[in-house]
Amino acid sequence: MLRRMKPISVILSSSRHHYRRGVTTWSPLTTAFNTRPEKRINFTRNEVGLFGVPELTSYEGFYALKEKAIFKTDDLIEEATSATRTRKMVTIFDELSDTLCKVADLAEFIRLAHPVPNFCHAAEDACISISGIVEKLNTHKPLYRALKAVVEGGDRMETTDVDKHVASLFLFDFEQCGIHLKESDRQRVVYLNDCILQLGQRFMAGAVHPRSISKNVLPEAIRHFFSADGDNILVSGLYADSANSMAREAAYRLFLYPDAQQEHLLSELLKARLQLATVCGFPTYAHRALKASTMETPEMVNEFLQTLNEQLRPRAEKDFAVMRKMKASECGANMPLAAWDTPYFTSSLKRTYLQASASEYSPYFSLGACMEGLNLLMNSLYGITLQNTEMAPGESWSHDIYKLAVTHETEGLLGYIYCDLFERQGKPNQDCHFTIQGGKVMDGDQYQNPIVVVMLNLAQPRWSGPTLLTPSMVDNLFHEMGHAMHSMLARTEYQHVTGTRCSTDFAEVPSVLMEYFASDPRVLRSFAKHFQTQEPMPEAMLERLCASKNVFAASETQLQVFYSALDQIYHGPASEWRGNGESTTETLKKVQEQYYGLSYVENTAWQLRFSHLVGYGAKYYSYLISRAIASWIWQTYFERDPFSRTQGEKYRRGCLAYGGGIPSRLLVSNFLGREVTAANLTNSLINEIDTFSERLQPPPGSVAGSLR
């Protein structure tokens, strides 16, 4: 957005010793991201259109893009079904996918992020139109038969293992819509998918709806903690950070009180998913959801959860023992530890380790310093620089966007990352990564470079200084940039499997791995400098910060195991969650007793507020698997030296480069040299927890310290 910076090799000494110390003056990248973005007035240059797409100088250009996609789709269908085609079937299908994704992905992002309503509406219309095209393709039987013949009998052209894998993924996508079924069953699949969509939307809306009760229900002493609505009190969350134990308990019991409508919606959603799986030939919805995943089957997931749970139980109990003592110290009585206490005491102990508020760490984490930290890390691991690049008029959707050119020292430009980092009215309040254009090999061995957007919601920089990040914001930035670099470094032949377009339980591995870098003192030392003085963060502060990220790791992990196990049972055989006509809450009680160290709270139903059951149905375990694999990679390749170019190249060439082009289970086992088993995955997490537990020295005078 400002100007292209020089390659990092020009700015820094090539000596590893000097490189790791960082720089003594702010780099151009730091300066750019620490400078308040300003609107620019264009007097002479023609606008190039959003993301450089010439049609999008106006919102009306979405109509032209849509029409071009329709015409090209028709041509590709004709080619795929032709008896005289001259290209591999998978190549034609990938071009078909690329044609539609280039419009759909771009339109979906603009629909969410553009501040001008006309652009949003036009983008939404384009999304609907492309969805209509996809629905028609999903019923195009000659196209399906042409692909199926190639997958089952081989192509007339020579194909590789990657070709066969990607073709099989296209076929599975086709069959998800029931095209291979008799017409009555196919119509049933369409009907059930529509039911699942509507039930999910209604359930998610109800999951966040506040609970309104008469103020007389609450003791007068805690009413002021909640929002008032006339004679009623609105409970809109769990108030987990409240220091008042009574307020936490009241919020938990009221917000999570069973709701008959939500129970009905969840039960119907689970039934519809099971029926869908059965019609499509799967024993359960979990079997359908896990096909082509790293874990492959629900049986493997359950083995992992049970193995991990056995190892976690005694370790989590030690965490709970500390929390019980903290509660007794704070409340002045030997009160039992309950589910509403754990988030509060976890945060409390983290603050004790920090010995300061999170905001006191922020001056060392200016946005520019963090971006330079990422640049230093990428350069060290992969020989890559992040170069702030000036955009042409009309290229961005808001004036406060940065554009990074991702450039390799010998390979040249790898792609672009647009950074939409600041909050603004109407922008989604979420941190996420969007693929605008996937990487793929083009005709003539040219490469279509990836284009992505990293979206955060940071405060706009003030005139008096740059945007400052809290430690958790730094973690989020590194996480989302992990997704972006996965997209940049996955030099796949096909865009259908580029970067993050891989199995759900592997897609988070590169981003979670980046959180390990963001939690390592050696990495933080390279960029955590005061935005005014450029003084490095004091060593004691830095060590306390890294330690604070690992408090109560065992109990936090056990909670994720519990959530994952419940999700698997809900999406498993009907007998496991509907036996004797039991409710989803009765199932919850049984699963909690088996998988979690704290008792179920009577007359609560937190699963009816658990919206992840909609978006991650049967896949919630993916967080744990991704973390286990990321931890395994960290311990094997980077724990000894997080700046190692040798290990970075191994990781890039042996893992990131493939995207979803190789089955993720095979990819992980090949890269780590061991089978992906429940025992190996469990060991990686338990080793991590035990290592941090040994290093974690309780703060002097703390309750945790006195217990130990």
Please return the burial class of 253, using the count of CB atoms within 10 Å of its CB with bins 0-12, 13-18 and 19+.
Answer: middle
Please tell me the distance from the alpha carbon of residue 134 to that of residue 75, in angstroms, as a whole number. 15
Go through 498-520 and write b for each residue having 16 or more CB atoms within 10 A of its CB, e for each that does not. bbbbbbbbbbbbbbbbbbbbbbb
What DSSP letter does each residue of 499-559 carry, written as one string? TT-S-HHHHTHHHHHHHHHHT-HHHHHTT-B-TTT-PBPPHHHHHHHHHHTTTTHHHHHHH
Please tell me the distance from the alpha carbon of residue 631 to that of residue 126, in angstroms, as a whole number. 41
CB 127 within 8 A of CB 107: yes
Q: Which residue carries 């490189």 as its tokens? A: 19
Strand order in 211-214's β-sheet?
211-214, 232-235, 227-229
Structure tokens at 550: 């690992």
DSSP-derived letter for residue 223 is: G
Please tell me the distance from the alpha carbon of residue 537 to that of residue 526, in angstroms, as a whole number. 10
* DSSP-based three-state secondary structure for 456: strand
Structure tokens at 588: 């919850």
**Among the options 79, 108, 372, 480, which is catalytic?**
480
Please tell me the distance from the alpha carbon of residue 509 to that of residue 629, in angstroms, as a whole number. 7
Q: Would residue 447 be called left, alpha or beta, if left means φ above 0 and alpha means ψ between -120 and 50 degrees? A: beta
DSSP-derived letter for residue 243 is: S
Told to judge if 268 belongs to the known catalytic residues of this protein, a careful annotator would answer no
- Catalytic positions are 480
